[in-house]
Amino acid sequence: MLTVNQTRQKVAQGRSAYGLLNAVPTPWMVEMIGHAGYDFVILDTEHMSTNPESLEHMIRAAECASVTPLVRVPGVDRAAIARALDSGAQGIVVPRIRNAEEARDVVQMARYAPAGQRGITGGRTTGFGTLPLKDYLRQANQEVLI
């Protein structure tokens, strides 16, 4: 079962959600943000030179501290969006969206068919096959925050 995106749920209910942009790419800082009571943390891969392994560790730290991990990608970039979500991010932050077409493109990149065009990989985000594929795709599309 996928983790419920608590931040998305709060926003959908009209409640406020509070978070921080983390410019210190270390898991312990992410855990501290979660234990401080924030709802979400934005892990910056636009300005920070965060390698993929460090990003995965920060996402796991967020999960352990019950804070929603969002990843700020460099821009409208299919590969960067896929890597962030495949690493376990529960949402993405895309800077410099210039028009409605780019916004629609980003949504397509972040969601699986039939709602989008995201490609699928096995492993951690899919629960290593513990969830039927149809259920995973539906839940992932529902829980992603864009």
Neighbours of 15 (CB within 10 A): 10
Which of helix, strand or coil describes residue 69?
strand
Catalytic site positions: 47
**Among 131, 106, 126, 109, residue whose Cα is nearest residue 118:** 109
Task: Give the predicted TM-score (pTM) of the model.
Answer: 0.94
**pLDDT at residue 1 in the model:** 57
Segment 30-88, tens digit of pLDDT = 999 999 999 999 999 999 888 899 999 999 999 999 999 999 999 999 999 999 999 99
Structural domains for the chain: 6-143 (3.20.20.60)
Segment 91-139, tens digit of pLDDT = 999 999 999 999 999 999 999 999 999 998 877 777 777 888 899 999 9
